[in-house]
């Protein structure tokens, strides 16, 4: 019997006797009992109670004794009760019985402010600390099974001290999950976990109030309404929102130039917000504009060349324009011009780390440990990829495919050593993920990679090595201070994290992911996660406020807003539309304030800005998007070198017959590697290996041969 059948059969499945009765210890609003429900009197209600159910009279004495137990023992008994249940049907019967005994919340409490996010059903949670310093909880749901989960937690934690609520480890209550198979049932079974997180958030607030600590300033955020309107909260968010409604004359000017000169644009998600706003609006009038993560920028450029574009402008850091140039040459479009957006170098802290002598030492160590495969993050220069590939057979990866790449490599090549770099946080997070997999069941491991099991994961752990001295200067920000504030104020929100974030943020988001409340991956993975959660809310068509913590560069906001608005538009109909909002939170660090010199150039080692009380927003590289002194920088200074002014300058001066844009042209490597091959040729090979893997889900035979026999060509 499935869960929906069990819910429909609720009256006949109530299992006597109940071990414990849920109760409320503070007055709430009490409407008339819903049709078909069993009325239960709140402890503070003055109305006479209905006659008790005969099955419950028998359990009353045991219930009173249970109420006097410490919360930790109540949690243990609750877990033991569900652990002892023989099957999913029996667990469901117990949940439905508890749901029948849970008092209904009044309409005044069944509001969006009390909604528990991440549940398939609507779930509401109310909590406060009473005069005796104990937490008082009440909860409700429009799903009987979800009400059962709520009842379990209220029974276990109502009356507990705040510290006792925080001491509950979700693992202690794991037996409550797994009521039935299937995606929907698993999501419903995560209700208890999401409700527990909500209870713990309220307990933290109670402790702060008791200690006299004021509520912390919220992170800045943007709220997108059903009508597409934007509400900015905080100076940082106001600066981001400024360019979401771009100047129409600038759009017309850009589109006219692109059409006349057949110019395509590939841009990264992390662009300056002014540029993002203009590009997002312009691509409705000119199809050859593509905004994405670094993975598909070069592929998009090839498609534009195939469609007749004679020039490609690249809005990103230099390794991106190098990749575009090299891939176009590989595809036979060497006459298509490729232009960067600055006459100065547009660097990247990760690319710099991979070109260091320390990284060369890391690779030389790998070359002495055959068979070895070097998995290099795509955010590195073509020259680095070429030199690395001659030392150790190399394949590129992105944050969205790195785990699959490494697991397939271990599955395909016996006794392999994998060397990942240069992002140290991503390397540590991959190792952390594999450690988690090592304690999963074989079935759970197989869901991640079909040829692996618990034993094979344990075997590969000592063979995974990662570089420990490279990081993205933006994602480095998502560390201890930011994580503490997220735990305090946003633990019940949807958490998104790029694979490049420090371990604290990674672990927090991975925990959220287990209950359907988080995602860890690439920028595209984050965007898809937000869109999917919004689609679910739109399909439900119930008033909702979806709050997402953006654990990556703030430049993504333009693409997020555009995607959210498109979804809202696509769901417009004659029927009544629910009031649904999407809030994007920028978790910016209070000590990550950027500086500008007199001439406006950015210096990573600049001294801290002084006299901040007189400044509301510290300007960024060329625009005003900057960093709020109330938060900090979730903004890459290198990416912000791609200004609208530079883009228009390049477009207006094409075709460059007088060679005035020489400094803006993407590098074409004519240099040779230590083994005498062209850098462009060898540097492209790891990228092509990745493309083969993405298409076939296997490492190419040529790469496998290189790993086992060295970098010579395979014999026929």
Q: Rounded to an integer, what distance in angstroms lies between the CA atom of residue 514 and that of residue 517?
A: 7
User: pLDDT tens digits for 511-538?
Assistant: 898 888 999 888 889 999 999 999 999 9
pLDDT band at 589 (very low <50, low <70, confident <90, very high): low
Q: Rounded to an integer, what distance in angstroms lies between the CA atom of residue 88 and that of residue 3?
A: 9
pLDDT band at 27 (very low <50, low <70, confident <90, very high): very low
Compute the mean pLDDT over every residue in the chain, rounded to the nearest whole number. 81
Give yes or no for residue 607 having a pLDDT over 90: no
Give yes or no for residue 326 having a pLDDT over 70: yes
Residue 339 has what DSSP assignment?
E
- Please compute the mean of the pLDDT values over residues 417-428 and round it to a whole number: 92
Q: What is the CA radius of gyration of the chain?
A: 28
On whether the 67-211 domain is CATH 3.40.50.620, my answer is no
Spell out the long-range contacts of 649-652 with Cβ–Cβ below 8 A and sequence spacing 24 or more: 650/313, 650/339, 650/341, 651/254, 651/257, 651/258, 651/261, 651/263, 651/313, 652/257
Order of strands across the sheet that contains 263-268 = 289-292, 263-268, 311-315, 337-339
The residue among 208, 7, 15, 200 whose CA lies nearest residue 97 is 15
Q: Among positive and negative, which fits the CA dihedral 361, 367, 373, 379? A: positive
Where does the chain hold its CATH 3.40.50.10800 domain(s)? 248-346+641-664
User: pLDDT tens digits for 163-195?
Assistant: 999 999 988 888 887 543 333 334 566 888 999
Q: Which of 119, 397, 472, 633 is catalytic?
A: 119
The residue among 348, 137, 232 whose CA lies nearest residue 586 is 232
Q: Rounded to an integer, what distance in angstroms lies between the CA atom of residue 346 and that of residue 271?
A: 13
Structure tokens at 493: 């929100």
Structure tokens at 677: 């091959």
**To which residue do tokens 């109502």 refer?**
158
User: pLDDT tens digits for 676-715?
Assistant: 888 888 998 999 999 899 999 999 999 999 999 986 444 4
Per cent of the chain over pLDDT 90 is 50
Give yes or no for residue 7 having a pLDDT over 60: no
Reply yes or no on whether 627 is catalytic: no
Give yes or no for residue 636 having a pLDDT over 70: no
Structure tokens at 633: 């920088």
On whether the 480-590 domain is CATH 3.50.70, my answer is no
User: pLDDT tens digits for 246-277?
Assistant: 889 999 999 999 999 999 999 988 777 778 88
pLDDT band at 307 (very low <50, low <70, confident <90, very high): very high
Q: Rounded to an integer, what distance in angstroms lies between the CA atom of residue 561 and that of residue 242?
A: 13
Angle formed at CA 135 by CA 25 and CA 492, multiple of 5 degrees: 120
Q: Rounded to an integer, what distance in angstroms lies between the CA atom of residue 677 and that of residue 192?
A: 60
Give yes or no for residue 454 having a pLDDT over 80: yes
The larger pLDDT score, comparing residue 712 to residue 16, is at 712
pLDDT of res. 711: 66
- Please compute the mean of the pLDDT values over residues 643-648 and round it to a whole number: 90
The number of beta carbons lying within 10 Å of the beta carbon of residue 361 is: 11
**To which residue do tokens 């692109």 refer?**
258
The larger pLDDT score, comparing residue 309 to residue 498, is at 309
pLDDT band at 126 (very low <50, low <70, confident <90, very high): very high
CATH topology of domain 248-346+641-664: Rossmann fold (3.40.50)
Q: Rounded to an integer, what distance in angstroms lies between the CA atom of residue 137 and that of residue 509?
A: 26
User: Measured between alpha carbons, how far is residue 53 from residues 14, 40, 66, 67, 101 in Å?
Assistant: 12, 10, 19, 19, 10
Nearest 10 degrees: CA dihedral of 639, 641, 644, 645? Answer: -170
Q: In the beta sheet, which residues pair with residue 551?
A: 497
Residue 369 makes CB contacts below 8 A (sequence gap 6+) with 417
Where does the chain hold its CATH 3.90.1010.10 domain(s)? 67-211
Q: Against a cut of 0.75, is the pTM above it?
A: no
Name the most confidently modeled range: 122-131, 276-285, 337-346. Answer: 122-131
Structure tokens at 481: 């201070």
């Amino acid at each position: 019997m499935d869960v929906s059948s069990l819910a429909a059969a609720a009256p006949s499945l109530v299992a006597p006797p109940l071990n414990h009765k849920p109760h409320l210890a503070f007055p709430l609003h009490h409407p008339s009992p819903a049709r078909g429900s069993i009325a239960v009197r709140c402890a503070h209600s003055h109305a006479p109670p209905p006659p008790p159910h005969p099955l419950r009279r028998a359990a009353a004495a045991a219930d009173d004794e249970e109420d006097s137990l410490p919360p930790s023992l109540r949690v243990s008994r609750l877990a033991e009760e569900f652990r002892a249940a023989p099957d999913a049907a029996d667990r469901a019967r117990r949940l439905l019985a508890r749901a029948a005994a849970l008092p209904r919340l009044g309409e005044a409490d069944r509001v969006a402010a009390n909604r528990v996010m991440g549940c398939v059903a609507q779930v509401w949670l109310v909590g406060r600390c009473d005069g005796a310093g104990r937490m008082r909880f009440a909860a409700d749901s429009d799903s009987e099974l979800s009400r059962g989960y709520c009842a379990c937690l209220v029974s276990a934690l109502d009356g507990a001290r705040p510290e006792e609520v925080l001491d509950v480890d979700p693992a202690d209550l794991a037996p409550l999950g797994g009521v039935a198979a299937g995606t929907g049932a698993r999501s419903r079974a995560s209700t208890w976990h999401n409700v527990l997180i909500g209870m713990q958030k309220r307990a933290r607030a109670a402790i702060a109030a008791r200690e006299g600590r004021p509520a912390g300033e919220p992170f800045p955020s943007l709220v997108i309404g059903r009508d597409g309107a934007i509400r900015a909260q905080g100076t940082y968010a106001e600066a981001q929102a400024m360019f979401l409604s771009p100047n129409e004359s600038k759009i017309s000017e850009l589109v006219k130039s692109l059409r006349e000169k057949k110019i395509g644009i590939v841009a990264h998600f992390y662009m300056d917000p002014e540029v993002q706003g203009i590009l997002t609006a312009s691509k409705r009038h000119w199809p050859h504009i593509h905004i994405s993560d670094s993975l598909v920028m070069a592929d998009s450029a090839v498609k534009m060349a195939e469609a007749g574009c004679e020039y490609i402008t690249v809005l990103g850091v230099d390794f991106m324009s190098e990749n575009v140039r090299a891939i176009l040459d590989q595809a036979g479009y060497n006459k298509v011009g490729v232009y960067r957006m600055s006459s100065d170098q547009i660097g990247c802290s990760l690319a710099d780390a991979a070109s260091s002598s320390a990284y060369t030492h890391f690779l030389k160590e790998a070359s002495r440990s055959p068979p070895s495969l070097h998995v290099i993050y795509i955010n590195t220069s073509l020259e680095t990829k070429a030199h690395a590939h001659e030392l150790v057979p190399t394949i590129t990866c992105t944050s969205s495919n790195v785990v699959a790449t490494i697991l397939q490599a271990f599955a395909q090549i016996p006794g392999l050593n994998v060397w990942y770099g240069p992002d140290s946080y991503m390397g540590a997070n991959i190792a952390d993920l594999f450690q988690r997999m090592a304690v999963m069941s074989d079935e759970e491991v197989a869901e991640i990679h079909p040829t692996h099991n618990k034993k094979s994961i344990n075997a590969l752990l000592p063979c995974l090595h990662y570089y420990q001295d490279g990081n993205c200067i933006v994602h480095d920000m998502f560390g201890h201070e930011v994580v503490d504030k997220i735990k305090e104020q946003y633990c019940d929100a949807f958490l998104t994290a790029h694979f490049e974030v420090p371990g604290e943020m990674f672990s927090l988001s991975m925990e959220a992911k287990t209950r359907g409340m988080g995602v860890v991956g690439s920028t595209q993975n984050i965007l898809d996660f937000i869109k999917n959660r919004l689609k679910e809310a739109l399909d439900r068509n119930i008033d909702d406020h979806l709050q997402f913590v953006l654990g990556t560069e703030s430049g993504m906001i333009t693409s997020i807003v555009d995607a959210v608005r498109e979804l809202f538009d696509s769901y417009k109909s004659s029927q009544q539309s629910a009031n649904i909002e999407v809030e994007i939170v920028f978790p910016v660090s209070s000590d990550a304030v950027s500086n500008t010199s007199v001439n406006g150039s950015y210096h990573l080692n600049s001294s801290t800005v002084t006299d901040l009380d007189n400044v509301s927003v510290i300007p960024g590289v060329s625009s005003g998007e900057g960093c709020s002194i109330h938060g900090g920088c979730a903004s890459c200074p290198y990416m912000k070198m791609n200004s609208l002014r530079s883009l228009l300058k390049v477009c207006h001066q094409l075709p460059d017959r007088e060679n005035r844009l020489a400094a803006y042209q993407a590098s074409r490597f004519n240099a040779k590697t230590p083994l005498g091959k062209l850098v462009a040729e060898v540097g492209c090979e790891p990228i092509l290996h990745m493309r083969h893997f993405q298409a076939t889900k296997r490492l190419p035979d040529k790469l496998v041969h290189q790993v086992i026999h060295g970098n010579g060509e395979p014999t026929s």
